[in-house]
Structure 1
């Protein structure tokens, strides 16, 4: 067995307070216009039914459980405002996910912390709340990472708990639940396979220490398979086949990595350094370095078999770091995927002597970083890009007629959503267009087809952009059939002649 069941397994009062803080931190941003990804996911979720693309009429490289979560957010009110699409339900979804993550962090710390280390059970949820409330990690944008981390921590908690005690019905149910949570996390954001990585390392190291390990492993696998089967079957009923899902969440990511490496723009490097600076300024880097060092030192001294959870936690964190680095596009919300590993490593530290001071310093710097970033976000909640997109959307909404369509070349689904229009082009994001339509044959077919959009928004003076160079004949055809009507910064609105 990993360790006897600790006396306290319920969250501490500190955990509830930290969870409330994590939730309340989102409330001032409920009526902030949605970011590009948020608006796009909401638009896809709303219209998902059998259609001509992966999710209804649109295509995105995300798993289906994310769409269902955004369908929950779609139950709330929505406003097409001059500042953009306002949907408090989307922000509320992020707030609930953050609070749930903090509660699970407190429960996990109570479960795995060394004996008589009650201080750690207070530190872990506060650390989680500080990171989740930090705009340096993408808050207040509700994206796949923040919605997946509760499932990750739930899976970690259930897996660790299932390996304590006898292999009775409770242990097998917990193992099944761990597998289900592990699959759910990956079905929200496909790279969030943290629990599977933890299990692949932890289960073999537990051989000979945990009775009936095969039964528990089988229960874990069964839980994951059951959730996968339900989601795939339900998606097929909505017109999304298993082959299409595999293509979108696995095959496409391999293709996209090659495209990103071969055609990265200067903006990619700028975002990389922005993410690196945010990683350092948020306190996550220092906390990860300190807790990772302590876990590695303990595992080295005792040996992997005597410190299985620490070794498995280090493997999980290594995977999370790969997920941030391999994402390619380098957005701040990638860093949210590090929170489960940071929390688990912090929970395993015995806070005595200098270790306690080191952890307290990490926590203090994290809280200070969050307060500074949160205050700045509150003062400037809408960045220039979202504000410019809102101007374009407001123009389209004001000048469009019922039945009009719009294509934004390329990306910025928030413009389409905030304009209240549909797009006949299935790729609302730039990366799918770069990977799947690099010669713009699909776009040309749309523009020349029976459902050609009245409006086209381009970045700059041509239809090229975001690493895509339009063929000369397409540009000539476009200028012959469309005329520019307005410009907002580098965004130009064209209408069909």
Structure 2
């Protein structure tokens, strides 16, 4: 076994308090307009049925479980506000995911912390709550990372627990549950395969120490395979084939990395710097550095076989860092994907002497960073771009008719969602258009077809934008068949002549 079962496995009172705080931190933002991704995912989840594209009539490079979660959020009220589309259910979903993550962080810390290290069991959930409540990590935007993180921690907790007991029915059920949670995390956000990475390293290092390891490993794999099979079959019933899913969540990401690398705009570099600054200011970087150093030092001194969980945790964190760096577009919510690794490494620290002061300093700086960023977000909750998009959507609602369609070139699905119109162009996000329709042949077919939209929204003076250059003949054709009606900042609304 990895280690004897610790005496204290229940979460501390601090864990429950931190979980409530993480939930309450979202409440002031329930009525804040949705971000572009949130509105787009909500729209896709609502209309997903057999259609002309991957998810109904639209295409996005995300796994299906994410859209089902947003469909669940769609059960709540929805309001078209002058500042944008308001759907409290979406923000509430993020709040619940954050609270669950903190609760699981406390349970994990109670399970893996060194003996008699109750202080660590108090620190880990507070650290998780501080990071999840920080706008420096993307809060209050409900995106794939924040919804996948509780599944990751649940999988880590179940996997570690399954390896610390005898090979009885309970341990096999825990291993199966770990596989289920691991697959669910990846089916919410495809790069969140943290539990699989942990298992790939931890299981071989546990050989000879954990009885009937093959049975536990088989149970883990069986749980993951069962979930994937159910999700793939359910998606097929809604018109999404397994081949289409593979293309969207795996093949496309490889193609997108090449496109981003070859045609990144100056805005990409600016966002990279912003994410780097947020990583440092949030306290996550310092905490990761300190806890990673301590885990690596212990593993070096004892050897990997004597510190298997520390080695596996370091591998998991390395994968999480790759996920942030390889995302390419560099949005703040990428940093949320680091939380499971940070929590696990912090939970493994033996808080004696200078280590305790180092961890306390990391936690203090993290809390201060969160309070400052959260206060600023509360004072300025509506992003300028979202407010601009809302004005565009309001114009379309006012001047549009029931049968009108709209194409936004390119991206900004929040405009389509808030306008209450359909888009005949399947790519609501810019990256899929850049990768799958770089010469805009699909767009030209839409604009010249029987279902041509009445409205087209462009950024700047031409149909080009977001790394896509429209062919001259398409621009000429567009100007001949459409005329500009209004402008809102750098967004211009054109209507069909």
TM-score after normalising by structure 1: 1.00
Tell me how far apart the structure 1 counterparts of residues 3 and 288 of structure 2 sit (CA, whole Å).
24
Deviation readout 1:189-243 (Å, 9 max, x if unpaired):
0000000000000000000000000000000000000000000000000000000
Contact 1:60 1:427 in 2 (8 A): yes
Q: Kindly state the Cα deviation for residue 383 of structure 1 after the two structures are TM-superposed.
A: 1.2
Tell me how far apart the structure 1 counterparts of residues 92 and 32 of structure 2 sit (CA, whole Å).
12
Tell me how far apart the structure 1 counterparts of residues 488 and 70 of structure 2 sit (CA, whole Å).
30
Contact 1:406 1:455 in 2 (8 A): yes
Q: Kindly state the Cα deviation for residue 10 of structure 1 after the two structures are TM-superposed.
A: 1.0
Tell me how far apart the structure 2 counterparts of residues 267 and 117 of structure 1 sit (CA, whole Å).
45
Tell me how far apart the structure 2 counterparts of residues 165 and 189 of structure 1 sit (CA, whole Å).
31
SS in 1 for 2:424: coil
Q: Kindly state the Cα deviation for residue 81 of structure 1 after the two structures are TM-superposed.
A: 1.4
Tell me how far apart the structure 2 counterparts of residues 401 and 226 of structure 1 sit (CA, whole Å).
46
Contact 1:62 1:189 in 2 (8 A): yes
Q: Kindly state the Cα deviation for residue 357 of structure 1 after the two structures are TM-superposed.
A: 0.2
Deviation readout 1:337-388 (Å, 9 max, x if unpaired):
0000000000000000000000000000000000000000000001111111
Q: Kindly state the Cα deviation for residue 295 of structure 1 after the two structures are TM-superposed.
A: 0.1
Q: Kindly state the Cα deviation for residue 436 of structure 1 after the two structures are TM-superposed.
A: 0.2
Tell me how far apart the structure 2 counterparts of residues 395 and 368 of structure 1 sit (CA, whole Å).
41
Tell me how far apart the structure 1 counterparts of residues 375 and 293 of structure 2 sit (CA, whole Å).
32
Contact 1:149 1:339 in 2 (8 A): yes
Q: Kindly state the Cα deviation for residue 67 of structure 1 after the two structures are TM-superposed.
A: 0.6
Tell me how far apart the structure 2 counterparts of residues 383 and 143 of structure 1 sit (CA, whole Å).
16
TM-score after normalising by structure 2: 1.00
Tell me how far apart the structure 1 counterparts of residues 131 and 337 of structure 2 sit (CA, whole Å).
11
Q: Kindly state the Cα deviation for residue 443 of structure 1 after the two structures are TM-superposed.
A: 0.3
SS in 1 for 2:149: helix
Q: Kindly state the Cα deviation for residue 80 of structure 1 after the two structures are TM-superposed.
A: 1.3
SS in 2 for 1:58: coil
Contact 1:29 1:91 in 2 (8 A): yes
Tell me how far apart the structure 2 counterparts of residues 198 and 461 of structure 1 sit (CA, whole Å).
50
Tell me how far apart the structure 1 counterparts of residues 443 and 403 of structure 2 sit (CA, whole Å).
19
Q: Kindly state the Cα deviation for residue 326 of structure 1 after the two structures are TM-superposed.
A: 0.1
Q: Kindly state the Cα deviation for residue 8 of structure 1 after the two structures are TM-superposed.
A: 1.1
Tell me how far apart the structure 1 counterparts of residues 83 and 384 of structure 2 sit (CA, whole Å).
11
Q: Kindly state the Cα deviation for residue 7 of structure 1 after the two structures are TM-superposed.
A: 1.1
Q: Kindly state the Cα deviation for residue 431 of structure 1 after the two structures are TM-superposed.
A: 0.1
Tell me how far apart the structure 1 counterparts of residues 429 and 124 of structure 2 sit (CA, whole Å).
36
Contact 1:124 1:343 in 2 (8 A): yes
Deviation readout 1:95-137 (Å, 9 max, x if unpaired):
0000000000000000000000000000000000000000000
Two-structure CA RMSD over aligned residues (Å): 0.4
Match of 2:149 in 1: 149
Contact 1:80 1:420 in 2 (8 A): no
Tell me how far apart the structure 1 counterparts of residues 183 and 246 of structure 2 sit (CA, whole Å).
14
Match of 1:423 in 2: 423
Tell me how far apart the structure 1 counterparts of residues 26 and 404 of structure 2 sit (CA, whole Å).
35
Q: Kindly state the Cα deviation for residue 3 of structure 1 after the two structures are TM-superposed.
A: 0.9
Tell me how far apart the structure 1 counterparts of residues 446 and 46 of structure 2 sit (CA, whole Å).
22
Tell me how far apart the structure 2 counterparts of residues 421 and 279 of structure 1 sit (CA, whole Å).
38
**Size of the alignment, in residue pairs?**
497
Match of 1:329 in 2: 329
Structure 2 residue runs without a partner (length 5+): none
Tell me how far apart the structure 2 counterparts of residues 445 and 81 of structure 1 sit (CA, whole Å).
33
Asked if 1:170 corresponds to 2:170, the answer is yes
SS in 2 for 1:231: helix
Give runs of ≥4 in structure 1 deviating > 4 Å.
Answer: none
Q: Kindly state the Cα deviation for residue 43 of structure 1 after the two structures are TM-superposed.
A: 0.3
Deviation readout 1:140-175 (Å, 9 max, x if unpaired):
000000000000000000000000111000000000
Match of 1:376 in 2: 376
SS in 1 for 2:407: strand
Tell me how far apart the structure 1 counterparts of residues 81 and 454 of structure 2 sit (CA, whole Å).
22
Structure 1 residue runs without a partner (length 5+): none
Deviation readout 1:431-483 (Å, 9 max, x if unpaired):
00000000000000000011100000000000000000001110000000000
Q: Kindly state the Cα deviation for residue 422 of structure 1 after the two structures are TM-superposed.
A: 0.7
Q: Kindly state the Cα deviation for residue 283 of structure 1 after the two structures are TM-superposed.
A: 0.1
Tell me how far apart the structure 2 counterparts of residues 241 and 213 of structure 1 sit (CA, whole Å).
35
Contact 1:82 1:390 in 2 (8 A): yes
Tell me how far apart the structure 2 counterparts of residues 51 and 303 of structure 1 sit (CA, whole Å).
55
Q: Kindly state the Cα deviation for residue 276 of structure 1 after the two structures are TM-superposed.
A: 0.1
Q: Kindly state the Cα deviation for residue 15 of structure 1 after the two structures are TM-superposed.
A: 0.3
Q: Kindly state the Cα deviation for residue 290 of structure 1 after the two structures are TM-superposed.
A: 0.1
Tell me how far apart the structure 2 counterparts of residues 57 and 458 of structure 1 sit (CA, whole Å).
21
Contact 1:37 1:143 in 2 (8 A): yes
SS in 2 for 1:434: helix
Tell me how far apart the structure 2 counterparts of residues 403 and 294 of structure 1 sit (CA, whole Å).
62
